[in-house]
Amino acid sequence: MTAVQLPRRRALRVPVAWRRPAAIAGSVVLLAWVLVALLDPLLGLQDPLQQSVGDAFRAPSAAHPFGTDALGRDVLSRTLWGVRSSLPLAVALVAGSLVVGSVLGAVAGYLGGAVDEVIMRIADLVFAFPTIILAMVVAAALGPSLLNAVVALLVVSWPNYARVMRSLVLGARGQEYVVAGRLLGAGPFTSLRRDVLPNVSAPMLVLAMLDFGNQILLLAGLSFLGLGAVPPTPEWGSMVADGVTQFSSWWLATFPGLAIFSVVVAFNLIGDSLRDALDPRTAGAVQGSSI
Amino acid sequence: MSGLDIRGLTLELGGRRILDGVDVEVPAGQVTGLAGESGSGKTMTGLAVIGLAPAGAKVSGTVAYDDGEVRVPDLLALRPGAMNRLRGRRIAMVFQDPTASLQPMLSVGTQLTDHMRHHLHLSRSAARTRAAELLERVRVPSPEAALKRYPHQFSGGQLQRIAFAIAIACEPKVLIADEPTTALDVTVQAGVLRLLRELTDDLGLAVLLVTHDLGVMSAVADTVAVMRNGSVVEHGSRFQIITDPQTAYAKELVESLPHTPPPGTGEGEA
Amino acid sequence: MTARLSIEGASVTYRQPGRNVLTAVDAVDLEVGAGEVVGLVGESGCGKSTLARAVCGLEPLAGGRILLDGEPVEKLGLRPRDPRLRRIQMVFQNPYASLNPRRRVGAQIEDGRRVAGGGAPTVAELLDSVGLDASAGSRYPHEFSGGQRQRVAIARAMAAGPDLLIGDEPIASLDASLQARVAALMRRVALERGASLLFISHDLAVVRVIADRIAVMQAGRIVEQGPAEQVWASPQHPYTRRLLAAIPIADGLGRLPAV
């Protein structure tokens, strides 16, 4: 029996993350978007799909606070409905590439040898093509739909994560505490799970948070090419893509762009706080002064 | 008195008092040792004196500087620009890890001549000649060739000699050496300690030597100041501090050393 | 008496790309008896840490063999370490890297106890034996000083009930005032639990105090070994003499050590 009681760690620590002002701000923004997504039908918005050619390219006004697009559709309504496709897709995409890339990168870095060679050469192969071109090829092969666009982007995104994870694991596996664990009999799986991964999770988390904006815009690229969101489904990325060509109608790209921006910033704020909170060295100190 | 005179040096960082009224004199031509455990504030004292305290630190007290030509009543009161002109020119530093204190991407020659040209307004060739002389002075073998090489091509001991050459290049009057031999092997350390003593005597340097190693203190320091919790608890000659410490803490520090008879009776001593 | 650890003509080499083969450990013979404390001293790059890693199975041997109680030590591969070899434990040099920063100290000592199986002392007893409070177990490594962390690392290694404890420069990163104390602690806990100790250090003055025998290593070879007092008082090999002469002795006389 152990005389020292060891409290469960997660239960104790994660809530600390949300005591930080940055995390609160980020969570409020995200929560607001989730509420908007759930309550869209109840908000009394105009139909986001309803076209009115006579009202095309109207600047923001009382009737259309965010203006109207080329087909006279209400931009406010499309932006608020757009969260329904953009947010879950981006989350799925980032989470998917994070998991796939991390697992492959960690295995490659820890085991080394032939396994490492195979995984990293495949990653190189993906890197060799421009991201959007390769995503287009995969998406085209699978057929146009948002789900297929996500799969296509997953295929092109995981190597980024695998690369970073591999180098982090390579650096961490030689650490004395990892070796000490092996000397006490830990196999590779235990060693990775217990000693390596917790100590490399912070940069991966930050990478994922920074990747959100990128992924939303890539999704938009595919939608723009007709391989992602099928028109007229409102989706932020494609709205921005449509809008940027219309210089005189600034509101077309600005408002969905701000929506993307708010989500990206929210994730970054949460990511930073999560990183600090997961690290026992900074968990106690709110807004860590460097140690 | 020429040298440094540190009075009531106090440093607060993030609400914590790291230095609490340090009083110590660092006279010219002498090595003044600053001993103590890690966290006692000895390194911070060195940094605060040369104006390199960490950002956000509140420093008070006075550090008087006097080398016969230049007299500054309080270094801490100088504006950053004025301090910069003094640092490197009249007050130099040597740190613990020579592999980290030299820039890996620049040749030794460049690192040696840059600040000479800046502070002393020497021409490129004059600076080069002087650099070679300096390397010879600190006994780096084949100085001319060494100037063209990069830090990674030298051993740790050679790098620390080069760091000393850089430090004395502009003929400073005060040298702050923070654990300059801690990262070195014992046989290499012996050479560097000799060099330090020699430079002190020949150039009349006022040396503030920060080290936790009382053996090193005993070898090169003239006086030893023992620090604890941000202040000097005892300051005396090396012989008095090591053989007859007056304060309880200094006693404890000396007694923690392994009690050793001189090694290699007869043959080991040169 | 058979030695607990016998190193017989062991060599470790590194192949450097584009350069010659580097022999880090060159046909070393060394024995550590049961309940014996052997100090291995030498300067950086002499191969003493590589030898320690080889004894733990972390470096493949290019020649010779290493035996624990007469049975060979195999290289640690991807599989979990052979339970027989878990009786060799190590305390590392850097107290800031040798504990997992994300896990509580108690949990890390617990890893060691699991190796020992039934009869292991409790975490509190182990912490007590290295001079730490039982409450230390519920704290994280960053809450400890370097010296305290090294004590935790010693407790973790001893929790496994090793027959051979290796210290790879365990005091090099500590304050001078702690070095002798931590070294003496390692000797005490190892002998109390019937383990042998191979203590590796560059500091002859400290090794002399805790070791029964001293081996001096230079450029991959052991140039001299013998009883501690004998090596200290009448060194035979010129390198040992040079090493001893270079030690600055704290006598307050201002004598510069010989180069």
Question: Mind listing the pLDDT tens digit for each residue in B133-186?
Answer: 999 989 898 999 999 999 988 888 889 999 999 999 988 999 999 999 988 888
pLDDT band at A206 (very low <50, low <70, confident <90, very high): confident
Place of tokens 């020292």: A4
Q: What is the CATH topology of the domain spanning A25-33+61-279?
A: MetI-like fold (1.10.3720)
CA A157, CA B137: separation in Å to the nearest integer? 58
8 Å CB contact of B270 and C258:
yes
pLDDT at A235: 85
Q: Which chains touch B (3 or more CB pairs under 8 A)?
A: C
pLDDT in tens, B81-103: 899 888 888 999 998 888 888 88
- pLDDT confidence tier of residue B267, bands split at 50, 70 and 90: very low
Cβ atoms of B16 and B41 within 8 Å: the answer is no
Is residue C91 within 8 Å of C158, Cβ to Cβ? no
Spatial separation of the C-alpha atoms in residues B225 and A27, rounded to whole Å: 54
Q: Please tell me the predicted confidence (pLDDT) of residue C169.
A: 93
The gap between the terminal CA atoms of chain A, to the nearest Å, is: 35
- DSSP letter at C143 equals G
Q: How many helices (H) and strands (E) does chain B have?
A: 11, 10
- Asked if C216 and C243 count as a contact pair (C-beta separation under 8 A), the reply is yes
**Which among C178, C247, C259 has CB closest to B263?**
C247
Cβ separation C98–A111 shorter than 8 A: no
Question: Whole-angstrom Cα distance, residue C50 to residue A238?
Answer: 59
> Is residue A131 very low, low, confident or very high in pLDDT (cuts 50, 70, 90)?
confident
What number of helices (H) and strands (E) belong to chain A? 12, 0
Average pLDDT of the segment spanning A30-37: 92
- What's the whole-number mean pLDDT along residues A263-274? 83
**Contact across the interface for A179 and C92, Cβ inside 8 Å:** yes
Q: In chain B, which residue ranges form alpha helices assigned H by DSSP? A: 42-49, 80-86, 98-101, 108-120, 124-137, 143-147, 156-168, 186-203, 214-220, 238-243, 248-255
Secondary structure in 3-state letters for C187-222: HHHHHHCCCEEEEEECCHHHHHHHCCEEEEEECCEE
Kindly determine whether residue C58 and residue A9, on different chains, have CB atoms separated by under 8 Å. no
State the Cα–Cα distance between residues C177 and B35, nearest whole angstrom.
11
List own/partner pairs for A107-113 with CB under 8 A and 24 or more apart: A108/A162, A108/A166, A109/A165, A109/A166, A109/A167, A109/A168, A109/A169, A109/A170, A109/A173, A110/A169, A110/A173, A110/A188, A110/A191, A110/A192, A110/A196, A111/A188, A111/C78
pLDDT at A288 over 70: no
Hey, what are A183's tokens? 């000397």
Count Cα atoms within 13 angstroms, Cβ side, for B15.
1
Superfamily of domain C5-73+83-245: P-loop containing nucleotide triphosphate hydrolases (3.40.50.300)
**Which residues, in sequence order, are bridge partners of residue C253?**
none
Global pTM reads 0.82
| Domain residue ranges in chain A | 25-33+61-279
CB C157 within 8 A of CB C195: no
8 Å CB contact of C124 and A179: no
Q: Taking 80 as the threshold, does the pLDDT of residue B269 lie above it? A: no
The Cα–Cα gap between B85 and B79 comes to: 10
CB hemisphere CA count around A283 (13 angstroms): 20
Which of A16, A173, A176, A194 is best to mutate for the C interface (most C CBs within 10 A)? A176
Q: Report phi then psi at A9, rounded to 5.
A: -85, -45
With contact defined as beta carbons under 8 Å apart, do A78 and A238 qualify? no
Nearest CA in chain A to C116: A184
pLDDT digit string, tens, across residues B226-235: 999 999 999 9
Contact B258 C234 (CB under 8 A): no
Q: Predicted ipTM?
A: 0.92
**The pLDDT value given to residue A15:** 54
Q: Give A4→chain C minimum CA distance, Å.
A: 6
Q: Coil, strand, or helix at residue A235?
A: coil
Residues 6+ apart with CB under 8 A from B113: B122, B124, B127, B128, B130, B131
pLDDT, tens only, B29-57: 999 999 988 889 999 999 999 888 888 89
Q: Is C100 within 8 Å of A281 when comparing Cβ atoms?
A: no
B1-90+204-256: CATH homologous superfamily? Answer: P-loop containing nucleotide triphosphate hydrolases (3.40.50.300)
The CA distance from C14 to C53, in Å, is 14
d(CA B238, CA C254): 8
Distances (CA, A) of A212 to A36, A271, A278, B63: 19, 11, 21, 53
Q: Residue A284's pLDDT band (boundaries 50, 70, 90)?
A: low
- On chain C, the residues whose CB falls within 8 A of the CB of A176 are 92-94, 97-98
* Residue C89, beta-bridge partner list: C165
**Position A182 confidence tier, pLDDT thresholds 50, 70, 90:** very high
Look at C180 and B256 and tell me if their CB atoms are within 8 Å.
yes
Residue A48: CB atoms within 10 A of its CB come to 20
| Amino acid (one-letter) located at A103 | V
List the single best residue of A4, A110, A111, A195 to mutate versus C (max C Cβ within 10 A).
A4
Which residue in B238, B253, B264 is closest to C254 by CB distance? B238
Q: Does the beta carbon of A13 lie under 8 angstroms from any beta carbon of chain C?
A: no
Q: How many CB atoms lie within 10 A of CB A28?
A: 12
Percent share of chain A, pLDDT over 70: 89
Give the phi and the psi of residue B15 in degrees, each rounded to 5.
Answer: 80, -10
Q: Is B74 left (phi over 0), alpha (psi -120 to 50) or beta?
A: beta
Neighbours of B79 (CB within 10 A): 7
DSSP track, A171-207? HHTTSHHHHHHHHTT--HHHIIIIIIHHHHHHHHHHH
The nearest alpha carbon in chain B to C248 belongs to B215
Element holding A156 (H helix, E strand): helix A146-172
pLDDT tens sequence across B188-219: 899 999 999 999 999 999 999 999 888 999 99
Strand pairing category for C213-218 and C37-41:
parallel
**pLDDT band at A241, cuts 50/70/90?**
confident
10-residue stretch averages of pLDDT, chain C, 259 residues long: 88 83 93 96 91 95 95 92 95 93 95 87 94 94 92 96 95 85 95 96 91 96 96 94 90 85
Q: How would residue A225 be classed by pLDDT, with cut points 50, 70 and 90?
A: confident
Q: Are C97 and A177 a contacting pair, CB within 8 Å? A: yes
Higher model confidence: residue A3 or residue B110?
A: B110
Query: Across chain A, where does the E strand assignment appear?
Result: none
State the amino acid at position A195 in one-letter form: D
User: In degrees rounded to 5, what are phi and psi of residue C167?
Assistant: -110, 115
- pLDDT averaged over every residue in chain A: 83
- For B93, the token pair is 């530093």
Instruction: State how far the Cα of B84 lies from the Cα of B89, in Å rounded to an integer.
Output: 9
- Residue matched to tokens 């290019």: C62
